[in-house]
Structure formats: C-alpha cells, structure tokens
Structure 1
Amino acid sequence: MCKYKSPSLTVDGIVQIDDKILLIKRKNPPFKDFWAFPGGFVEYGETTENAVIREVQEETSLKTRIKHLLGVYSDPNRDPRGHTVSVVYVLEPIEGTIKGADDAKEAKLFKIEEVKNLNLAFDHKKIFEDYLNYLKLK
C-alpha cells in the first residue's frame, strides 16, 4: 500500500480516417455531452498500450493498432475529478464499424477543420493542436 498520493493514469487515442478524426460524445460527467478523444483509465496490471486499444474499442467499436506515441499530458488541473496523467497514442483502424458504446453516447468522424471549432473535453484541444503539429512533421 502506497502512503503517497499519486495521480491516476489514463489513455487517449487519436484515430484519423482519411481527412477525419474520430471523437466520442461523453455520456457522463465531467464534460457530459462534450466531444473528446476516446480513452479512459488504465486498469491495474494493464499496459497503457493495451488500455488505449481496449478503451477505443469499448467506446467506438473499432479495433485499432498503435502507430505512434503522441505525448504525455500531466497538468494537475486537466481533469476536475483529480490529477490524471494521460498517455496519448495515434492509432489506425483495423476493423469494425464506428458506433458509440460504453461511456460514449455517440462516436462520430469529424473533418479536421470541424474539430478546430469544437469545444473539446479536458485538455483535448491542446492534444489536438499537438496532433496537428505532429502531422506537419510527418
């Protein structure tokens, strides 16, 4: 048992299909009804790589594989429930049909230009900006 307070570990996945980005509409607070990248909490004993693939499939019904580690986001104020650290991956779809499930009220593809104008949950606008920079470097 750890006697020190630690942040919770989360993952988020960015899936781009053609010129569109996959987002989910959150079913629960915080940020209920906001659009976000699919993701969630890493389970004890689980790798972040397995967690992001699991979470994306649970929320969007898509099977994916990891292409790239985008970054780690650790602002203590990124989640109003408490300090979380998110490991964000760029994923590619393998199979499946997009359908919102689990914690997602809806899953939908948005053109990149549309995402720029959305109010995203958590710090996902910053993550999206970093993803756009990653695309420029590719």
Structure 2
Amino acid sequence: MSDPVRAAIAVVLRGHEVLLVRRRNPPDAGLWGYPGGRVEPGESSEQAALRELREETGVRARARARLGCLEIAGEGHRYCLDVVLCSYRSGVPGAADDVDAVRWCGCDAVISGRFPASRDVDRICLRAVAFH
C-alpha cells in the first residue's frame, strides 16, 4: 500500500465550544468534523491547518500545539491527519470550499456523541479540552 497522504485538521477552541464543519464530499459527506485538508509541499501541518480553516470557514486562529496523528484508511484513501489544537482569533464562521455547514458546538455535546460525526471527533475534542 502507498504512503498515506499528509493532511492536517484544525481543532479550534473558543471557551467551552469547538468549531465543527459538515463535510460535503466523500469519504465523510454529511458528517461533522474539524476543518482541514491536505498539507501542500513546503507547508507545515500547522500552516496547512490554519489555511484550511480560513478556506473552509473564514475563521482565523493561532496554532497552539500538535495533539498527534490520526491514521484514516478506507477504500481508495489513506490519510495521516495531524491534529492541530488552535485558539480562536477572529471571524464569523461561514461554510465555504468543501463544507456545507459550520458551527460552534459545545464541547460536552461533541464529547458525548450528540452529532453524527467522523471517526474520533469526540475523542479528539476530549483530548483538546484536557490539553487546553
């Protein structure tokens, strides 16, 4: 099997809320998750997470820490997602690029699984809150 595609996700905290997007495209179409996408050549994971965050939501943040890498594999795709914890700076969230909705969600609701979400969204939120 080929090497995984490097990607990064932005876990943006604002108080007791986290920013989630609902994906428009497969493999996670219709599910809530974190803004993110591929790491471009010459870009760090932190830079990619912040760029994807702006492109998908219009929100600006500051990268604080890497929380690890999440391996995602399925039919026709394999990713290594660097999880980047971010602090909200500015912007009103709006859906753009490859998402059809964006919203601030209570961390408790995310951790308890009240959203139809991509794999490990709840676990990542719990880790971000504990680190924060």
TM range (shorter): 0.7 to 0.9
On the 8 A contact 1:15/1:91 being kept in 2, the answer is yes
Question: Does residue 25 of structure 1 match 2:22?
Answer: yes
1:124 Cα deviation from its structure 2 partner: 3.1
1:137 Cα deviation from its structure 2 partner: 5.4
Question: Does residue 94 of structure 1 match 2:62?
Answer: no
The structure carrying a bigger strand percent of its residues is: 2
RMSD: 1.9
With normalisation by structure 1, the TM-score equals: 0.83
Q: Summarize the alignment of residues 1-138 of structure 1 with structure 2, pairs less than 5 Å apart.
A: 5-75=2-72, 77=73, 79-115=74-110, 116=112, 117-121=114-118, 123-125=119-121, 128-136=122-130
- Give me the whole-angstrom Cα distance separating, in 2, the residues matched to 1:113 and 1:131: 9
Moved over 2 A (4+): 133-138
- CA separation of 1:108/1:94 partners in 2, compared to 1, >3 Å: closer, same or farther? same
Please say which structure displays the higher CA radius of gyration.
Answer: 1
- Give me the whole-angstrom Cα distance separating, in 1, the residues matched to 2:78 and 2:58: 28
SS at match of 1:33: coil
- CA separation of 1:130/1:104 partners in 2, compared to 1, >3 Å: closer, same or farther? closer
Aligned length: 130
On the 8 A contact 1:12/1:52 being kept in 2, the answer is yes
Unaligned ranges ≥5, structure 1:
none
With normalisation by structure 2, the TM-score equals: 0.87
CA deviations over 1:19-40 (Å, ceiling 9, x no partner) = 1110001111222111111111
- Give me the whole-angstrom Cα distance separating, in 2, the residues matched to 1:19 and 1:92: 12
CA deviations over 1:34-90 (Å, ceiling 9, x no partner) = 111111111122221211110011111011111111111125x2x543211010011
